Structure 1
């Protein structure tokens, strides 16, 4: 579990999950050494920052929603990313339009946002899309939970949530089965450039003014092909993507 330490009004957050390191255990040990030399730190998800407020840890309703939707060590580590989604969701809840997540995977990210905003009573519809398994012709890499069972697991996860619609299939083709006409919140996490660009082509014009688009891996070096493609796509439309230290990208629709 995440380690939370308080000293005076400081809150520290440390989850030893870091991707792309040659010696993960040694790297985590070095982070523990660094933790002894500073405070108000956030060490997780390839972030090594200190003297931060860690606002998400102080947001009790968010922490409740987050903790209820942890199914892996990765879910613990990406706390800050999940808080970005929740804050975007809060803003977008005041706009016209529904919520959309393309690349729902296990559904826990969307459910964290939804539980933070009211759970089954949230008045907007949350549309979730994913293939839920990895095919031989898939461009993106496989994830641990991918498989023929995942779709049903996600359906069961949202049992009792009448405001959630779940679609299984390739993006953007699966959008033909149903998609909202107006979108307030759009989260894209497909781990590959072609499908993300095709999804933007299909949905961008449906995002309402003030609506938010979050690109999960935009600022992650491993996924730099997505950044290059999305910079070009948004640039042609007079937009620039906000790069966030969480590795996400962020766009506000005009």
Structure 2
């Protein structure tokens, strides 16, 4: 499970995690540089009103569960993507060709080892991923590795953006081209208040409308499903399981379990 160091939305971790724990899965946490991840404060507040929805999105029970996990030691000592996956050199480096060759020599074994060790990959959402997950090339390489191995990938909320940007450097085509996904529709976007942990900065609205990115990335033979007006929106188009937002977290975890144990390949469209 990949978590942002700038804040994850609590239920989007707890929802899938509870499904995995119930099945006895071994779960490993990873962050971009190995720093401990923490839940965004609004995701631990049962009284917080989500501006686009005009209602609370966190139950008192979930708020307690998120706080208990956040205050526990379970998220201590995550793996570090920066330690696991090499960094691609700049084209402007003095000895670019040799450095690029060395990069590929170390990249493939590193990705192969990581993919071989796990059955699935989960990209937890929230506003934090906008900062250190969405355009993280190391994370893109991990996603490409799981995709090449035909292993399921669950992405929630703004974590779905990682799938849109994970692309082979030769074709530059998104791995979700031709696929069906869900994610934040325009109707769910904030007009103000997009914040992050560790920085005193209110971005205002999110820096991009995720719906537009996903519509373009899935192309003419795929599709984006916002399911506005429906309480839940989770799409399975194997190997991808995508969840629109907070309330979809538990269902997304349950459906990932079904892909692993029962061969589920399609759901929600």
TM, length-normalised to structure 2: 0.36
TM-score, L = length of structure 1: 0.37
Bigger fraction of residues in strand: 1
